[in-house]
Structure formats: C-alpha cells, structure tokens
Amino acid sequence: MINSKFISFNKHCIWFADKLRNPNFFLYKGTIKNKDIGIVIFKIDKLFYNADVSISLHPDFKKKKLSSLLLKKSIKKFYSEYIYNINLIARIKKKNTPSIKIFLKTEFNLIKKKKKILNFNFFSFLKNERKKNNNIGVIIQARQSSKRLPNKVLKKINGFTLVELLLARLVRSKKINKIVVAIPKNKKNKKLFEHLKSLCVDTYRGSENNVLKRYYEAAKENQIKTVIRITCDCPLLHSHQLDKIVQFFLRSNTDYVSNIKPATAPQGFSVEIFKFSALENSFINAKKKYQKEHVNYYIHENQKFSRSNFVSKNLNFSSKNFSVDTKKDFKLVSSVFKFFRPNIHFRIEDIAVNIKKI
C-alpha cells in the first residue's frame, strides 16, 4: 500500500519492529561484497490470497541495473519459504517510471489503472515446474443475478465476500495452476467485476444464459486442458478436498469425474473435472437450451464420454445444504465460518467432526 503521509523516524522504527515479528511479513536484504544494496518486502493479506510487494534501493546503487535482479532473487527466495500459491501485487504511482520498468522487466503484468496508481501482478501458480505441462485450471461460475438470493456472491461473512473466501480456500491447491472466475458480461454484474478486479483475480466475462459457452471460451482463452468446474455458492470447498479429486481424475484416464453422481459429500462440496476436449465437444454439439444453461448436461446424457465418480469415505455427514442458495443456507454457511474463526483453512473433515457443535 502507498502512504503519502509523513511518518517520524521513531514511529517508523516501532512499525518496522512490529512487522518483523509478523509471520505474514517477509523482508529480504540484498548485498554485494558485504554492502547492503536494498530491500524487498512481501506483505501477505488477511486471506492469504495476495501479497503486496515493494522494493527500496540504497541511493548509492540506483541506476546500476540491480533492482530487477534483487526483485527476482527475492521472489525466488520468498517462494522457497512461503510454500503456498499466492498472487504478488505491486501498487505503483503513475509518475514512478523507474519502478514501473523494474516490475515489467520482472514479468509483472499491468492489471488495473487508477487515477494515480497502477496495479501490477505476478501470479504464482506457474512457479512449480511439475505443474506447467498439465494446464489444470479451476473455472469458478459466479453472477450477481441469482433469483433466489440476489448478490449472494458479494455477501460478507466475517468481513469477506463469498467469492473472496472461496478463492482463499482454493489458492493453496498443489495440483492446479490457474484460477479464473467466469461471470456474465453485463451491467447487472458490474459490481462483481469491479470487486474481482480489486482482488487481482483472472476474470472472464461472457454469456449469462449460455453458461456452456462461457465455460468453453474461458477455458480456451486461458489454455486450460483439464477444466475444474466450481460454483461460487460453495465457499466451504477447500483445496485439500479438491486436490484429492484432481489426483483421482489424473489417474482415472476418463473424460469426466465428479463427486456428485452419486453424491459422496453434502451439497455445497461439489466438484466436476473434465477434459477440455469433452467441453469442446459439448459446446459444438449441445443444441438444447437446458444443455447450454448447464455446463455438463450434454456429457451426462451421452455415452461417448467416459465417466467416473470420486468417493469420499465417511464424508456424507449431513443432509443440510451447504451451498448458498437461500438466506437459510447463508446463515448455515456463516455459522461454519464463525465457528472456526479466525482459521479459514479448515477442511471438510473438520466440519464433519464438529457438525453437532456448529
């Protein structure tokens, strides 16, 4: 974050000492021949989805082409110590041309322009070499115009929207290398689009009613070969559960895998995984209206696709609906998050054990 107010040296020392004790604050110092050349700071947000990155170089070492090198080495070091995926964000004043050049040279992308500030991001999912060739991506289906509970994806629990909570719980996946939120491209979903931009989330905007087309175009644009379908009204879904189903899909050698036919977990923990080739086949051949409104109805109805079901032992622990479709559902899901607060990375097994207390 950029703060233009004057800060006294004493207050700065107190602030700095406090930050060094904070486990979500990472600072790296660059040295050359025992001389300090600068520092790079990573400040992780409350949801562990983004980390603000800033760099300061000693005046004696400016204009010596060391900034980009220090930043790259610091990012590599940060990723070796912070084991989870995280989105790196740089917020730079428009007038600060040297800093803009540094971050662009370090492969940050410009994602948002404000009046005085430019936002850049560097997404970490591709940092792991073993995942690069799989192109496994989550596409989250979201919209504001739900008929039963309008604007539910922007409703807040413990100060965070449903979409924020879902993103934070999925980002720690060890199997995926992309998350995209697919939303309708219209005025009704403008607030959702702006909210996602503020979170620096990859977003695809497409047809509202032809959800199959929206998924196909989002997957194609992002070069996703293995597509994971998740809906935004399931914020209790966690990366630990997701990774188990992804691993099952990779071993199954089938076109489609889910945990819903039959359901082996309560409603609200649904995951569907399918090959892009199956999605493309559906997009080309699905002709009926309901097949376009629902992403995988064409796959379910055609025997040419090989299918398998993931079974979670002892996890179908409740007949309650943990998918947020109504006010009653929202109250139930809120009670789960409040029970585990401040921990947002509880798993489905934890919910099962404590369901009578929630």
What is the reported pTM? Answer: 0.88
The answer to whether residues 108 and 229 belong to one domain is no
The answer to whether residues 165 and 283 belong to one domain is yes
The answer to whether residues 135 and 34 belong to one domain is no
Over the stretch 24-40, which tens digit does the pLDDT of each residue have?
Answer: 999 999 999 899 999 99
For the CA atoms of 319, 323, 326, 329, the dihedral, rounded to the nearest 10 degrees, stands at 60
DSSP labels for 234-290?
-TT--HHHHHHHHHHHHHHT-SEEESBTTB-S-TT---EEEEHHHHHHHHHH--SHH
Report in angstroms the alpha-carbon separations of 113 from 11, 109, 119, 201, 344: 31, 12, 6, 15, 30
The answer to whether residues 198 and 292 belong to one domain is yes
* Angle of helix 276-285 versus helix 211-221 axis, rounded to 10: 140
Among residues 92, 127, 162, which one ends one of the domains? 127
The answer to whether residues 123 and 157 belong to one domain is no
Enclosing domain of residue 101:
9-127
Task: Report the alpha-carbon angle 110-144-346, nearest 5.
Answer: 80
Total count of domains within the chain: 2
The answer to whether residues 156 and 19 belong to one domain is no
List all residues 6 or more positions away from 326 whose beta carbon is below 8 Å from its beta carbon.
148, 149
CA–CA distance, 199 with 204 (Å, rounded to integer): 14
Residue 83 lies in a domain: yes
Element (H, E) at 152: none
The answer to whether residues 142 and 66 belong to one domain is no
- The encoded tokens of residue 124 equal 């970490």
Residue 30 lies in a domain: yes
pLDDT values of the chain reduced to their tens digit, one per residue, 358 residues: 445 566 777 887 787 788 788 889 999 999 998 999 999 999 998 888 899 999 999 999 888 889 999 999 999 999 889 888 888 999 999 999 989 999 999 988 887 777 777 787 776 654 444 455 568 999 999 999 998 999 999 999 999 999 999 999 999 898 998 899 999 999 999 999 999 988 888 999 999 999 999 999 999 999 999 999 999 999 999 999 999 999 999 999 999 999 998 888 999 999 999 999 999 999 999 999 999 999 999 999 999 999 999 988 778 888 999 999 999 999 999 999 999 999 999 999 999 999 999 9
List all residues 6 or more positions away from 260 whose beta carbon is below 8 Å from its beta carbon.
270, 271, 272, 309
CATH at residue 327:
3.90.550.10
Chain-centroid distance of CA 345 in Å reads: 14
The answer to whether residues 188 and 108 belong to one domain is no
Among residues 111, 127, 143, which one ends one of the domains? 127
Element (H, E) at 23: none
Over the stretch 36-78, which tens digit does the pLDDT of each residue have?
Answer: 999 999 999 888 889 999 999 999 988 888 999 999 999 999 9
The answer to whether residues 58 and 183 belong to one domain is no
* Angle of helix 97-105 versus helix 67-81 axis, rounded to 10: 50
CA–CA distance, 227 with 236 (Å, rounded to integer): 20
The answer to whether residues 119 and 162 belong to one domain is no
CATH at residue 15:
3.40.630.30
